[in-house]
Chain A
Amino acid sequence: MLDNLGTSLKDAVKKLAGKTVIDRVAVDELVRDLQRALLSADVNVKLVMQLSQAIKQRALEEEPPKGMGVREHVLRIVYQELVRLMGKPGEVALGPQTILMAGLQGSGKTTTTAKLARYFQRKGLRVGVICADTFRPGAYDQLKTLCDRISVPCFGDPNEPDALKIVREGLPKYRRLYEVIIIDTQGRHALEENLIEEIVNINEISHADHRWLVIDAALGQQASEQARRFHEAIGIDGVLVTKMDGTAKGGGALSAVAETQSGIVFIGSGETIEDLERFDPDGFISRLLGMGDLRALVERAEEAVSAEDLDVNAMLKGKFTLRDMYKQLEALNKMGPLKQIMSMLPLGGMQIPDDAYDITSTKMQRYKVIMDSMTPPELDDPSVIGSSRIQRIARGAGVMPDDVRDLIKYYKIMQRALKGMRGMSGGKFNMQRMMKKFGGPSR
């Protein structure tokens, strides 16, 4: 379904291509498709209407900047308005703090609490968790089990019915011992007044630095209302979206963000304790709309790119040198993970080996350092690199020879992937477009 919407949006955008004047009908169509995409992603109906009005108005009234096509212009507006709707990612300080978790029943507070504990633990902070869920049977066992796995202490008492008492007892104790304290609470919804009162009280006695609202990605139109009530009660300053590993688009979280004037802090996307990511607005928008190339487009427009840095034609002939890869890595640094870039290319379901994606930013940095230690002939023709050259390069870059071999291996994978692409149907046109995008924002 999402694919269809993405496609229909793309079709609408396509109609704008090549036009010199903005076509009202095409804009109308685009806006309608966008509305459908957003509505089926569970974004609040009123927000969608506001947003689409704004886009329509800007698209029809604003002059496209020089050198930018109508299509790019409209897409940029769409993107900018979406980014505005989404707000900035919420701030996460890596220092001593108390975090209060709030949310509806079954939204994933307890699991997320453990994931958060893990996150801060990995950042080198001492973390303690307080289980203030005194209602749901097994809640303490659940949190305790999860915390035990990562050796994080968990304060709580399954036989104590008073959540406030637990917080009152546990907090001073943990404040002395730990830097980050996360308070898990019972699930509640906005219509349960005594429970709302409870969390207001917990918030008061805990003096929590942050009050984060946990939102299930599948939550529908109700998100706005719930977020508003929570916000009124305790002042939400961050939203955590959970269950993003399902097929839900998380539009409800957007409503919550808009309602609380906060930002999304983390995204939960899996069942293991490591499956917690910092929020990336671009990835989120891509998912929401089912199309990925909005951000690159905007960057392309804003950076006034020249593609000369990257010899597309040489690459098309299969001549892909380390030099190209260097530039590519630089470009990637700006554009985000490779997988995301690949996903926005018009290649359909083409298979790229997973190894090719498996490159982290630190690794990328190291590769660049290694390549800086290479001579021009080596960069132009990597096949001359033998073991003695590897030794030299490793010494020059201050890395192990294995790292250099690693780089060569990665280069070979990329080379093979590109060769494979060349044989793909879709022909040269697609390929060239892709390459342009690849090298696009490299300057």
Chain B
Amino acid sequence: MFDSLKKKLQNIRTKFASNIEEAAGAEPEQPVAELPEGAEAVESGTPPAPPASAEAPEKEREKPTLFNRVKVLVREREVLLREKDIEEPLFELEMVLLENDVALPVTDEIIGRMRRDLVGRQRKIGSSVDDLVASTLRSALCGVLGEGLDLSRYIREHERPVKILFTGVNGTGKTTTVAKVGHYLQKNGFTVVIGAGDTFRAGAIEQIRTHADRLGIKTIQHQAGADPSAVLFDAVQYAKAHNIDVVLADTAGRFHNRANLMNQLEKIRRVMKPDLVVYVDEAVAGNDAVIRADEFNKAVGTDAVVLTKADMDPKGGAAISVAHTVGKPILFLGTGQGYDDIMPFQPRAVVNELLGDEA
């Protein structure tokens, strides 16, 4: 999913590198350029003069002992990065991030971090510019993406049944995700029951039921319009009675600005006491992703995030935004219409992929 971001980031990286190289190159080059005018006659005789004159002002302050000379040489070879040198590539990076749906505040944060880390940094001419930029960008992205979460391990380490509640706004793909996660857990040797907690949307119970039947997973359902808390409570009871490892609780999509619906979700949480609250959002969502992730987090808490429809969008900036806002690990990426199209999310791997290597 991160293909385009990856390509762009690599472009930016070379841009940064060349700008920094320029900044580094500017100092020694200037005297060379000026030289021909004033010292044309000397040209043939004293080619090594320019570097000497460039170093001169610094040198004069030190006593020209052998030791100091070596010291200065080392110091002279360092370049101080100024804000001006990286302004243009930073702006470009900002645009790249925005174009890739990284939300504005998150972009600001990343850019700010890059600026803080790069400006005023001294760099030896000999060391690779690429490394510097890559490591700065890497630390900025890693800081934003956080750590992943291994669901299988989590389940093994916790008392069963492990109850997982799925939340999110309308149409992000909660029901489909529940089915996919169910399938994933089955493949990993866990037994699963699904609670059909979306009792509001027409056809939702039929939808989850069909999925579950195809996968051979038991569904606990009431009729449409029933209290979702009751349905999910029953699902937990069923799991306890039948020694089932995991309860997956589907819920109706709701907007974070609807107090009543959020209260209902709160009640569900109170009643079924989930071990994990998984917030589902789509990878194609724009800036609103940040707002609603935050609201859901405030209202019912979020322990992990699933990003769906990652196949729609080769960019995946929302992943960065949501992860940053919620400050919670991304559990899975949904990557297609099949039950197998779900992918555990490993931030380190993603960052490595984005930056192309493991510098």
Name the B residues within 8 Å of A1 (CB-CB): 105, 291
Name the A residues within 8 Å of B344 (CB-CB): none
Name the A residues within 8 Å of B287 (CB-CB): 39-42, 220, 248-249, 251
Interface size of A by CB at 8 A reads 49
> Given A1-B105, A221-B101, are A135 and B337 neighbors across the interface (CB < 8 Å)?
yes
Most chain B CB atoms below 10 A, which of A36, A42, A110, A245:
A42
CA distance A92 to B237 in the complex (A): 52
Quick check: B204 and A138 within 8 Å, CB to CB? yes
Q: Does B129 contact A (CB under 8 A)?
A: no
A220 touches which one: B172, B207, B286, B311 (CB < 8 A)? B286
Name the A residues within 8 Å of B354 (CB-CB): none
CA distance A188 to B333 in the complex (A): 18
- Which residues of A, 119-168, contact B by the 8 Å Cβ criterion? 135-146
Quick check: B202 and A42 within 8 Å, CB to CB? no
Name the A residues within 8 Å of B200 (CB-CB): 271
Name the A residues within 8 Å of B169 (CB-CB): 218, 243, 246
B210 touches which one: A137, A223, A242 (CB < 8 A)? A137
> Given A217-B288, A220-B284, A221-B100, are A140 and B203 neighbors across the interface (CB < 8 Å)?
yes
- How distant is B42 from chain A, measured CB to nearest CB, in Å? 47
- Which residues of B, 259-311, contact A by the 8 Å Cβ criterion? 282, 284-289, 291-292, 295, 308-309, 311
B258's nearest neighbour on chain A, judged by CB, is A245
- How distant is B92 from chain A, measured CB to nearest CB, in Å? 12
- How distant is A151 from chain B, measured CB to nearest CB, in Å? 15
> Given A221-B98, A221-B99, A222-B284, are A141 and B255 neighbors across the interface (CB < 8 Å)?
no
Interface-facing stretch out of B29-37, B50-58, B112-120, B313-321: B313-321
CA distance A218 to B201 in the complex (A): 20
> Given A1-B291, A39-B98, A189-B312, are A243 and B203 neighbors across the interface (CB < 8 Å)?
no
Most chain B CB atoms below 10 A, which of A39, A190, A245:
A39
CA distance A245 to B254 in the complex (A): 10
Name the A residues within 8 Å of B317 (CB-CB): 220-221
Quick check: A247 and B291 within 8 Å, CB to CB? yes
Q: Does B46 contact A (CB under 8 A)?
A: no
Interface-facing stretch out of A101-109, A301-309, A395-403, A434-442: A101-109
Given contacts A106-B308, A141-B207, A222-B312, 4 further A-B contacts (CB under 8 A): A1-B291, A138-B204, A142-B204, A220-B285
User: Which residues in A have some Cβ–Cβ distance to B below 8 Å?
Assistant: 1, 36, 39-42, 45-46, 104-108, 110, 135-146, 189-192, 216-223, 226, 242-243, 245-249, 251-252, 271
User: Which residues in B have some Cβ–Cβ distance to A below 8 Å?
Assistant: 95, 98-101, 103-105, 169-173, 200-211, 224, 255-257, 282, 284-289, 291-292, 295, 308-309, 311-315, 317-318, 337
Q: What are 23 pairs between A and B in contact, CB < 8 Å? A: A36-B104, A40-B104, A42-B288, A105-B173, A106-B173, A106-B282, A136-B207, A137-B211, A138-B203, A138-B209, A141-B202, A141-B203, A141-B206, A191-B311, A218-B282, A221-B99, A221-B315, A222-B101, A245-B255, A246-B169, A246-B255, A247-B257, A248-B292
